[in-house]
Amino acid sequence: MRFRDGQWLVAEGVQIQYAEEVYRITPTASGKGISLLCPTRKIINRGNTLNLATLSIDIEPAFDGVLSVEMTHWQGALRRGPDFDLFPAGRPDVDAKVTKNENGTTLSAGTISATVSGKPHDFEIAFHPTDRKKPLTTLLSRSVGLAYTPSPSTPMQLADMRNFKHYIFTQTTLAVGESIHGLGERFGPFNKVGQKIDLWNADGGTSSDQAYKNISFWMSSRGYGVFIDTPERVELEIGSERCCRVQTSVEGQRLRWFIIYGPSPREILRKYSILTGAPGSVPSWSFGLWLSTSFTTSYDEETVNSFLTGMKARDIPVEVFHFDCFWLKAFQWCDFEFDQDMFPDPKGQIARLKADGIVKKVCVWTNPYLGQASPVFAEAAAKGYLLKRKNGDVFQWDMWQTGMGIVDFTNPEACAWFVSCLEKLFDTGVDSIKTDFGERIPSEDVQWFDTSVDPKRMHNYYAFIYNKLVYEALQKRYGTNEAVLFARAATAGNQRFPLTWGGDCESTPEAMAESVRGGLSLGLSGFAFWSVDIGGFEGSPPPWIYKRWVAFGLLCSHSRLHGSNSYRVPWTVDNDVTSEEGCSATLRKWTHLKARLMPYLFSQAQECVKNGLPLSLRAMCIEFPDDPSAWTLDRQFMLGDSLLVAPIFEEDDTVQFYLPKGGWTNFFTGEVKEGPGWFTETHGFGTLPLYVRPNTLLILGKEGETRTVYDYSTDVEVRAYYAKDNARALLVDSEGKTIGTLGWKDGEVTGKDILKGNSVITVVSS
C-alpha cells in the first residue's frame, strides 16, 4: 500500500506517524535482545513525551546469522492466530552478544549484527555482518511507522477503531544496483524492484500479478534475505513507492520479520529452511512421467486404457497416471467417489493397470470444496465440518461448484473425517493426491470452528493446513518418504509437503516463459520440487510449442502432461506424426533422457532436501552469485548444481543463453564453449542448450535406460567434464540412501569400487 503521494506529500486520506528517534534501549524479556522505545516526534523536553504515539522495536537473536525484528504500536492488541510453524526441526542455539560504545548499541547473533545509532535524537538501525560495518540494509529516518486511513481529524476519533484501518510499515534501504527475488511463485519480472506485490493467494493464472503460492520471503543480491512472519495479507512496495526502499506493510498493530545473512544464496536458503522447515523428500518413482486425463475432458476406463497402451506402444514409459476432475460425477465434486457410470470397478481397473505394467502409480484430483449436490455435503454440514458465516449459516457460494462449501480444517473432527475419505481412496489403489485449489478462502463474514483464529490470517494459511493434512495421511499409509502431493496453493512452510505445480498457463511460448519465471521465484522461496503443465493448460498447443514444452518439462524436477479441455497424449497433438521430429518421438527422447539422468537427479534431490535448495528450477544466481549477470537471467536455469538448461521459446528454433565463466560442455555433442558470454544456437526438437558445468563428474544410467527406478550404481556411465582434484559426485540408491562418493585425482576416478556391472568412465572434456 502506498502511504505517500510522491516524495513530499502524504497520500490523500492517510495519516502517517514515523518513529523519529530511539529514546531508550532496554533488554527484551528474554534478556538476549534489545527493545527500542521510539517516539513519533523528537523528544527535546519533557512536554514532548505527552499526547503522541510510540513504536516499540524488539530485536532478538534467532540463531546464527538470523535476527528477529518486531515493530509494535499498541501492545495490548490480541495476538490472534494462526501463526507460521517455525523451527519445526528444533531451534538452534545462538551466541548472542550486546555491546555499547560511542557509536551506538550493537546486538550480534553470530555472523549478523544490528547496530542502533547512538547519536542524540537520531533514528538509524543498520544490519550488517558482524565482522564488517558495511550494511546489508538499513532502517533510516522515517522508515518505521504507523498509518491510519481514513485520516482521523482528532485523536479522540480513535476511541472507536471500527471505522479506521491501522497499518504498521517498515522501509528497508535498497542499494544502488540491488535486486530482489522470490516472494513465491511470481510470473512477472524476475527482479522485483519496481513492483507492488500483495501476498494474498489467488487463482489468477500465470498471466497476472496474482499468485497461487505467496511466500513472505525475499532474497537480495546483497547477501541477505527477509522472512515476513505473518500469514495475513502483506503489501510490498519494492522500489515502487520510494525508489531506494523496500516497504513492507500489514494491517494491524504488529509487524515482525527476520533478516537472514548468507552471504551466499545457498546459505540464505539453508537458514530459511531451518526457520520454516526443510523440503520434504520425494520417492524416486515420482521423477518419472505423469500422464493426466486433462481437466474438463470426458473419459472412461476405455479412454484411460487407450492412453496408456498408446504410450507403451510408442515406448514412452508412464510412471504415474492421473485421474483429473471427471473421475467424479458432475456436480458432486468433491465427494471422493468414482463416477460409477464411467468407472464401474475402479479398484479392479487400477489393479489391472498396475498388473499389466503400463503404469506403476495412480493419482487422483481432489480439493477441499464440497458441492451441495454431493451426498457428502449434507453429512459434512450436519456435523459442523464446513466453514460458516457469522450468522451460523454454512458459507456457500456458486463459484466453482454449485452451492460449494469449504472444509473447515480448524475442526479436528473435520480433519479426521477428511482423512477417512482419503483412506478409502488409498484402499482403492490410489498412491498420490493432487490437492487442487485452496486459494479462494473467504476472509469476511466467516466464522471458523477455532474461534481464536483471524479469518484474514486464515486466507493464506489454509493452504498449509490443507496440504499438511493430506501429506501426512499419505505418509501414514505409504511411508515417510513415499508421500507425494501435486499441490497448487502454498504459503511459507509448504515446501515441507512436496510437490507443487505452476498452475494455469496458456499454450503459448509467452506462458512457458511465465512458468519459468514462476518456477525460478518459487525455488528462491525455499521449494525444492516443482512441475508445470507440459504443453500449457489453456488451449490446444501447436505441435512446435508442445515439443518445446516437453523438453522444458522433462528437465523440471517433476514432469506432468496436463491440459484443460484437450488431451496431452502426443498423437492427438500432431495427428500421430511418426517421424523423429514428431510429438511422440520427441516425448520419447526426453522421457528416456530423464531416465538416464536419474542417478544424478536423485542424488541432487537428497542435497536439496538437506540444504533447502531447489532442484529445478534453480536460479543461476544460486550457483553464480558473484556474476552480476546471473541475477538477471530468467529464461534459463540450473538443474541441480551441474547442468544448465535453456528452454527454447522461438518457432524458428533459435535460442539465446548465457554461460558463466569457464569451459561448458554441450551434453549432446561434446562441444565446449568458453564463458562468460552470450551465445545463440539453433536446435531441432530433440535437443536444447543443455550444458555441463566444468569440474563435474556426471553419473548417468546406461545408454537406452528407460526406467525411473533402477540400481543407480550398476551399468552406469560416469562422465568427467574438466574434472579437477576436488570434483565429487554423490551416489545414492533408488531409496535415497548413500552408496558412496566418486572423486577425481590425478586424472582418474576414485571410489570406483561402489560401481557395479559394466559401468564405464568417459572423459568428455579435459
As given in the structure block, the three cell numbers for residue 117 are: 545509532
Of the candidates 742, 200, 765, 734, the residue with the CA atom closest to the CA atom of residue 457: 200
E strand or H helix at 67, and its extent?
A: strand 66-72
Question: What residues form DSSP beta bridges with 658?
Answer: 678
Pair 285, 325: CB distance under 8 Å: no
**Positive or negative: CA dihedral 565, 303, 307, 474:** positive
Could you say which of 64, 185, 504, 634 is catalytic? Answer: 504
Residue type, 212: Y
> What does DSSP say about strands 96-101 and 104-109: parallel, antiparallel, or unpaired?
antiparallel
As given in the structure block, the three cell numbers for residue 174 are: 535498497
Q: What's the CA gap between 135 and 226, in Å, rounded?
A: 14
Phi, psi of 63 (to 5 degrees): -165, 180
Could you say which of 21, 431, 436, 454 is catalytic? Answer: 436
Q: Is 356 a catalytic residue?
A: no
On the 0-12 / 13-18 / 19+ scale of CB atoms within 10 A, 32 is middle
Q: What's the CA gap between 84 and 458, in Å, rounded?
A: 11
How far does CA 179 lie from the centroid of its chain?
19
Backbone Cα Rg of the chain: 27
Pair 173, 245: CB distance under 8 Å: yes
DSSP symbol at 374: S
Instruction: Count the neighbouring beta carbons within 10 Å of the beta carbon of residue 265.
Output: 26
Q: What's the CA gap between 304 and 265, in Å, rounded?
A: 44
Q: What's the CA gap between 545 and 552, in Å, rounded?
A: 11
In DSSP notation, 656-725 reads: EEEEEEEEEEETTT--EEEEEEEEEEE--TT---EEEPSSEEEEEPPTT---SSS-TTBS-EEEEES--T
Of the candidates 51, 70, 50, the residue with the CA atom closest to the CA atom of residue 60: 70
Q: What's the CA gap between 738 and 761, in Å, rounded?
A: 20
Buried b (16+ CB within 10 A) or exposed e, 469-507: bbbebbeebeeeebbbbbbbbbbbbbbbbbbbbbbbbbb
Of the candidates 594, 548, 557, the residue with the CA atom closest to the CA atom of residue 710: 594
Task: Give 142-198 as a 3 state SS string.
Answer: EEEEEEEECCCCCHHHHHCHHHCEEEEEEEEECCCCCCEEEEECCCCCCCCCCEEEE
Of the candidates 643, 625, 635, the residue with the CA atom closest to the CA atom of residue 678: 635
Q: Is 60 a catalytic residue?
A: no
On the 0-12 / 13-18 / 19+ scale of CB atoms within 10 A, 514 is buried
Instruction: Count the neighbouring beta carbons within 10 Å of the beta carbon of residue 71.
Output: 25
> What does DSSP say about strands 9-10 and 4-5: parallel, antiparallel, or unpaired?
antiparallel
Q: Is 436 a catalytic residue?
A: yes
Question: What residues form DSSP beta bridges with 732?
Answer: 738
Pair 741, 751: CB distance under 8 Å: yes
Could you say which of 439, 533, 538, 717 is catalytic? Answer: 439
Residues 6+ apart with CB under 8 A from 261: 65, 66, 111, 112, 127, 129, 136, 223, 224, 268
Residue type, 612: G
Catalytic residues: 436, 439, 504
